[in-house]
Amino acid sequence: MKIVVLDGYTENPGDLSWSALEALGDVTVYDRTSYVDAPIIAERIGDAEVVITNKTPITKETIDKCPNMKLIAFLATGYNVADYNYAKEKGVLVCNVPTYGTACVGQYAIALLLEVCHHIGHHAQTVKEGKWANHIDWCYWDYPLIELDGKTAGVIGFGRIGQTTGRIAKAMGMKVLAYDLYPNDSGKAIAEYVDLDTLLAQSDVVFLHCNLTADNEKMINKANIAKMKDGAILINNSRGQLIDEQDVTDALKSGKLAAAGLDVVYTEPIKADNPLLTAPNCIITPHMSWGAKEARQRIMDITVDNVKAYLDGSPINVVNK
């Protein structure tokens, strides 16, 4: 059986092994495949039965050109870059990795917040550049320092990752509010569930941990920012499309938002004309929350399990049943 990995580098830049996958068939791994060149994508898939991808799209055109394809396995939770409905029509299964980064993504959300509060990277660099050695005072800080104890964290989307962030915030002395369409008992042990407007109005820090849907695209927009506290902090390492980037930029420039910590943007890689690049007090990192080695190993392990289950005739984690 032929297996093709279209864009394996971000999953495995060299610190993991493909050996468990290679035990299942004839594996070809491409580090990168064009996201826009459909003929190249189809050419690389060829007559492979199993296609493994992360962000390389699998379109209707590609599915039609690769009739031997029977399984599309995502090295990720998100699978929207595949035409999964058409794949179903053609008898092609699509599966994903439903959970792998709960701990590291929640941890990273807090890391973004702590960087906003202390700008540790900036200050460490100024020390290396000699500013402390040559300073008139025995200490200094270039940004206001923020203490989180006693402040309120509002988490929009209170599933596994949201609850992880909530637990860490609570451990730091923060009151935690949560907004979720499906409240559950485990969440109630961490946070108080409230409606969205209440969360926006009462939170000093707003975390986004929700899935992207047609209903919540650009939910952090001018109207909802107006409902937030003056000087609130926004943290988003969920989906870039959840915020209106121009409205957030405007709010940062006006001071309505004190700061933002973002690991995702609307279009990735980020475009040079993204307004957030000119926004003050805006930390942007390159969609790396998920990338801890431990999390990537879980992706690898679950992907191998997905392929094994398909070969055994009992597929798991199928998203287009």
pLDDT in tens, 256-295: 999 999 999 999 999 999 999 999 999 999 999 999 999 9
Q: Do the domain assignments include residue 319? A: no
Q: Do the domain assignments include residue 232? A: yes
Same domain, 56 and 10: yes
**pLDDT given for residue 114 in this prediction:** 98
- Chain position carrying tokens 């042990």: 189
Provide the sign of the torsion angle of the four alpha carbons 113, 118, 119, 121, taken in this order.
Answer: negative
Same domain, 111 and 175: yes
**pLDDT given for residue 5 in this prediction:** 98
Q: Do the domain assignments include residue 251? A: yes
Same domain, 16 and 162: no
Amino acid at 271: K
The CATH number of whichever domain residue 60 belongs to comes to 3.40.50.720
Same domain, 35 and 121: no
Q: Assign 312 a pLDDT band (cuts: 50, 70, 90).
A: very high
Question: Which H helix or E strand runs over 207?
Answer: strand 205-208
Same domain, 301 and 273: no
pLDDT in tens, 7-48: 999 999 999 999 999 999 999 999 999 999 999 999 999 999
With beta carbons less than 8 A apart as the criterion, state whether 66 and 55 touch. no
**pLDDT given for residue 238 in this prediction:** 96
Average predicted confidence (pLDDT) for the chain: 97
**Catalytic positions, please?**
239, 268, 287
Domain count, the chain: 2
pLDDT in tens, 177-232: 999 999 999 999 999 999 999 999 999 999 999 999 999 999 999 999 999 999 99
Same domain, 238 and 253: yes
Cβ neighbours, 10 Å, residue 228:
22
Same domain, 41 and 114: no
Q: Do the domain assignments include residue 83? A: yes
- Structural domain of residue 66, as residue ranges? 2-100+293-311
The pairing of strands 71-74 and 175-179 is unpaired
Same domain, 107 and 96: no
Q: Do the domain assignments include residue 76? A: yes
Same domain, 271 and 301: no
Same domain, 135 and 248: yes
- For 321, the token pair is 């049943």
Same domain, 121 and 245: yes
Cα distances (Å, whole numbers) of residue 93 to 8, 62, 315, 320: 20, 14, 8, 7
Q: Do the domain assignments include residue 318? A: no
Return d(Cα 292, Cα 272) in angstroms, integer.
27
Mean pLDDT of 151-171: 98
Q: Do the domain assignments include residue 122? A: yes
Q: Do the domain assignments include residue 321? A: no
**pLDDT given for residue 117 in this prediction:** 98
Same domain, 194 and 47: no
**pLDDT given for residue 286 in this prediction:** 98
Amino acid at 233: I
Mean pLDDT of 224-253: 98
**pLDDT given for residue 161 in this prediction:** 97
